[in-house]
Structure 1
Amino acid sequence: MNQRSKWSAGLIIFAIFLVSINLRPAVTSVGPILSTIRESLHVSSTQMSLLTSIPVFCMGLFAPLAVPMQKKYGYRLSITVLTGLIGLATVTRIVFSSYSALLITSFLAGFAIAIISPIINAYIKQKFPTRMEPVIGIYSFAMGFGAAISAGFTGIFYKSFDGNWALSLSIWGFLAIFAMISWFAIVKDGPVRKVGTHQTDQARNPWKNKLAWTILIYFGFQTSLFFSLTTWLTSVALEQGMTLLTAGSVLTLMTIVQLVGNILIPSLVNRYPNRLIWLQSLIFIGVVGSAIFFIDSTWAIWISAVIFGLVLSGLFPIGLMLPLDEAVNNREANEWSSMVLSGGFMMSAFAPLTIGFVYDWTATHYFTKWIIVILFILMSLSVFIMQKQKKSV
């Protein structure tokens, strides 16, 4: 690759990074001040969990629109407009701060994120076919970075803005402005790069493929774990006697560890490419972290946060790689990724909602911890089935 090509590739990766930062704060910024918002609006924990569940469900429901939208408008215009929608939905929370307004803005953000994610996934497959793993690592790192800064600074903003939670949430919308401008300026729609021997317009229907369904189920369980922890980890820490800022720091620590792992683990996977061994190893470590999570002590929740961050940093990017590994052309990469992200995110919308309902019913997060354990067990079973299916092909 010549110097000009390297510079062009670097700019494209930079644009992917900026857009990807915006794919989490609209959701993850709620967690650190969830209890405060609930008390301010006089709503239940179940109602508050909808602020996570609705955008996550939208991420699944509208993901199939990625394929027709990308075909009609191209990568450049599609992601520019959708990134702008995320920014608009988030910024308007300062003006419209009722519970119903939060639900509507959550819906709009989830709609945009739903379509952006599979489009970027397919774009990486097309643009970087021989360096897919490290670029997906950067993509995952950027999402983790967005989650980390929103988890870390929302509580600080809340204190700095004299308890104005609406401003603390809306400020994250300004991240989208620079991302939108940069993507539109840098990315150009051009001819598809053909690589390998399987370049054809024919694509297997993932909805009729058993392996695709198993990948979808795995992805659903791992995203359920992520959104359950980002929504409720701060609340669990508060129940164990921490202050709001300290409890928010637990979530920040988890996301920072995840951030570092998002770069390291995909690079290691590129060197040692057996995805399923990686997944089962990470899940086992996660089960250990879940056991420590049950210890009713402040040190235990810090240790669990580190372990959960490490585990999540590998589970998500590998989950993105699985449908791309099976795809034989760009059309199939787009359709398989769209299916996996669609069904997976729709599945994961119910986990934070279930935790909120159980917490309203029991007034304790003891059962929240058991739900985390169950998610790890279900993930392990899905990976085991995936392994059997791959051997039978």
Structure 2
Amino acid sequence: MSVKSVPIKRDVTPGLAYPALAGSDVRAPSVAAVVVCILLVALTLRPGIVSMGPLLTAIIDELGLTHTQASLLTAIPTLLMGLLALPAPWLAHRFGRDRIILLALIVLGAAIILRALAGSIGQLFASTAAVGAGIAVAGTLFSSYVKARSPNRIALFMGIYATAIGLGSTVAAVATGPIDQLIGDWRWAGGFWVLPALLAIMAWVGIEHRSLRAPVSTSSTQVPRMPLRNPTAWLIALFFACNNLVFYALIAWLAPMYIERGESASSAGLILASYTLGFMLANPVFGLLSRSDDRRLLLAASSSIALLGSLAMAVAPDAMPLVTAAIAAFGTGGAFTLGMTLPLDNASTPEEAGAWTAFVMLQSYLVGAAGPLLVGYLRDSAGHFQSALWLLVAVGALMLLVTPFLQPYHKRKLKRCGCG
């Protein structure tokens, strides 16, 4: 007697887990493979932006840009990281999350090469926009990937993700200046950072090959709406926006600021590297310390450390800049790790996590993009960076003031109804 096997129908969210291949048992990657994916993709999400800081002076001299125009090389990608967060969940739903992440990585790598070959200011800004587009889409969808692959270890895995982002930033900050000095051409120094993108693409294809081949489910499941009417979502967005504004302003202008103060390009690059290193070290520390989904105490601690570092730089910019930059970055890095986790704390499914993350990134990166522009404008207006540093102190103070209100939404509901 023969038994006819019947394929098991699975309730799979399209683009957020493996859609079942017809008649086959599709297994998710191992934890080790997921960690490799997280590390290699995260490593490539910041060098395309951070590498511009040590090169800004050379680009300004060659192309005759003002400081405000030069700030667009950081502001444009940051702006797109907000704008493209909006369609990213729909793209994942329609074509499959893992396919869209792969496409975003390919766009990022191609754009870094095109920017190195840019023959005009227009081509420079257009390729920079493509860099931002690749980072934006991959970064928005990656939180959903982490939520789907490690639902019970979100803070730890987001800490790994944020640490790898910080490591990529640090390596780019340390190495870009010496590469530029060695070769004598900012284009080669900027184009060098296509290499991490190529590694990430190869790893993604190798590890996530099953999901890339699998058909996208035709389920009628709707993409969750963004939490536009949820006050907690707006407070999270405000907190993350303040953190992003400070981070991207310093990523863009920390090295040029110290070059103006008499440091060499390599020395200024080391100060920038101390900033990115402090950011990187904070990520696993706050990821491991954060055990509860009510993270307000740690949010306040990270915000206070960031504010202390920014205040020290504003009061005495030449007093131990390697230390003060690292202090500011340690707080900013901790706030980044916790801030990336906040949307996931308020979501019950990977799809909802994608919608919350997209909403927060939309608001926060739109505001964050103003950081490099404001600092560049204030530098052109005042002729120095001092007023810009005090602006960053004010933004850091606002970030700290928001932290008491960042309790997860579901806990606030339980408290109001007396159910907790």
Alpha-carbon distance in structure 2 between the residues aligned to 1:19 and 1:260: 18
Alignment of 1:191-230 (within 5 A): 203=224, 205-230=226-251
The answer to which of 71-80 and 353-362 deviates more is: 71-80
- The answer for the alignment partner of 1:256 in structure 2 is 277
Q: CA deviation at 1:295?
A: 4.0
Alpha-carbon distance in structure 2 between the residues aligned to 1:158 and 1:388: 46
- The answer for the alignment partner of 1:59 in structure 2 is 81
| Higher RCO (CA-CA < 8 Å; seq separation 6+) | 1
Of 32, 36, 41 in structure 1, the residue corresponding to residue 63 of structure 2 is 41
- The answer for the alignment partner of 2:298 in structure 1 is 278
Is there any run of 5+ residues in structure 2 with no aligned partner, and where?
Answer: 1-26, 216-220
Q: CA deviation at 1:201?
A: 7.2
Alpha-carbon distance in structure 1 between the residues aligned to 2:396 and 2:119: 36
1:312 correspondence with 2:332 = yes
The alpha-carbon distance between structure 1 residues 175 and 297, as it changes in their structure 2 partners (threshold 3 A), is closer
1:74 correspondence with 2:64 = no
Q: CA deviation at 1:382?
A: 2.4
The alpha-carbon distance between structure 1 residues 296 and 210, as it changes in their structure 2 partners (threshold 3 A), is closer
Q: CA deviation at 1:51?
A: 0.8
Q: CA deviation at 1:348?
A: 0.7
Of 251, 257, 273 in structure 2, the residue corresponding to residue 236 of structure 1 is 257
Q: CA deviation at 1:99?
A: 2.2
- Pairwise CA RMSD of aligned residues? 2.2
1:31 correspondence with 2:46 = no
- The answer for the alignment partner of 1:345 in structure 2 is 365
- The answer for the alignment partner of 1:298 in structure 2 is 318
TM-score normalised by structure 2 residue count: 0.85
The runs of 4+ residues in structure 1 deviating greater than 4 Å are: 200-205, 387-393
- The answer for the alignment partner of 1:22 in structure 2 is 44
Alpha-carbon distance in structure 1 between the residues aligned to 2:311 and 2:393: 8
Residues 203 and 329 of structure 1 are in contact (CA less than 8 Å); yes or no, is this contact kept in structure 2?
A: no
1:88 correspondence with 2:110 = yes
Aligned amino acid, residue 146 of structure 1: G
Alpha-carbon distance in structure 1 between the residues aligned to 2:139 and 2:261: 36
Q: What CA deviation, in whole Å up to 9, does each residue of 1:105-149 have, x standing for no partner?
A: 111111121111121101111110011111111111111111111
Alpha-carbon distance in structure 1 between the residues aligned to 2:195 and 2:298: 37
Of 371, 380, 383 in structure 1, the residue corresponding to residue 391 of structure 2 is 371
1:247 match: secondary structure: helix
The alpha-carbon distance between structure 1 residues 297 and 353, as it changes in their structure 2 partners (threshold 3 A), is closer
Aligned residues: 380
Aligned amino acid, residue 30 of structure 2: S
Residues 93 and 167 of structure 1 are in contact (CA less than 8 Å); yes or no, is this contact kept in structure 2?
A: no
Alpha-carbon distance in structure 2 between the residues aligned to 1:224 and 1:73: 32
- The answer for the alignment partner of 1:194 in structure 2 is none
- The answer for the alignment partner of 2:350 in structure 1 is 330
Aligned amino acid, residue 62 of structure 1: L
The alpha-carbon distance between structure 1 residues 15 and 153, as it changes in their structure 2 partners (threshold 3 A), is same
Residue identity over aligned pairs, in percent, reads: 28
- The answer for the alignment partner of 1:247 in structure 2 is 268
Residues 256 and 268 of structure 2 are in contact (CA less than 8 Å); yes or no, is this contact kept in structure 1?
A: yes
The alpha-carbon distance between structure 1 residues 388 and 110, as it changes in their structure 2 partners (threshold 3 A), is closer
Residues 107 and 134 of structure 2 are in contact (CA less than 8 Å); yes or no, is this contact kept in structure 1?
A: yes
Q: CA deviation at 1:384?
A: 3.2
Alpha-carbon distance in structure 2 between the residues aligned to 1:250 and 1:24: 17
Q: What CA deviation, in whole Å up to 9, does each residue of 1:327-367 have, x standing for no partner?
A: 12222111011110111111111111011011001111111
Residues 28 and 147 of structure 1 are in contact (CA less than 8 Å); yes or no, is this contact kept in structure 2?
A: yes
Q: CA deviation at 1:254?
A: 1.3
The alpha-carbon distance between structure 1 residues 100 and 22, as it changes in their structure 2 partners (threshold 3 A), is same
Alpha-carbon distance in structure 2 between the residues aligned to 1:6 and 1:66: 22
The alpha-carbon distance between structure 1 residues 58 and 6, as it changes in their structure 2 partners (threshold 3 A), is closer
1:299 match: secondary structure: coil
Q: What CA deviation, in whole Å up to 9, does each residue of 1:29-53 have, x standing for no partner?
A: 1011212211111110000001111
The answer to which of 302-311 and 315-324 deviates more is: 302-311
From the CA coordinates, give the structure whose radius of gyration is larger: 2
Q: CA deviation at 1:388?
A: 10
- The answer for the alignment partner of 1:102 in structure 2 is 124
Alpha-carbon distance in structure 1 between the residues aligned to 2:120 and 2:86: 30
Residues 233 and 251 of structure 1 are in contact (CA less than 8 Å); yes or no, is this contact kept in structure 2?
A: yes
1:140 correspondence with 2:132 = no
Alpha-carbon distance in structure 2 between the residues aligned to 1:287 and 1:157: 33
- The answer for the alignment partner of 1:112 in structure 2 is 134
Alpha-carbon distance in structure 2 between the residues aligned to 1:201 and 1:61: 21
Alpha-carbon distance in structure 1 between the residues aligned to 2:394 and 2:181: 36
The alpha-carbon distance between structure 1 residues 35 and 7, as it changes in their structure 2 partners (threshold 3 A), is same
The answer to which of 164-173 and 273-282 deviates more is: 273-282
Alpha-carbon distance in structure 1 between the residues aligned to 2:368 and 2:155: 24
Aligned amino acid, residue 307 of structure 2: V
Alpha-carbon distance in structure 2 between the residues aligned to 1:137 and 1:57: 24
Alpha-carbon distance in structure 1 between the residues aligned to 2:412 and 2:28: 38
More helix by share: 1
The alpha-carbon distance between structure 1 residues 71 and 355, as it changes in their structure 2 partners (threshold 3 A), is same
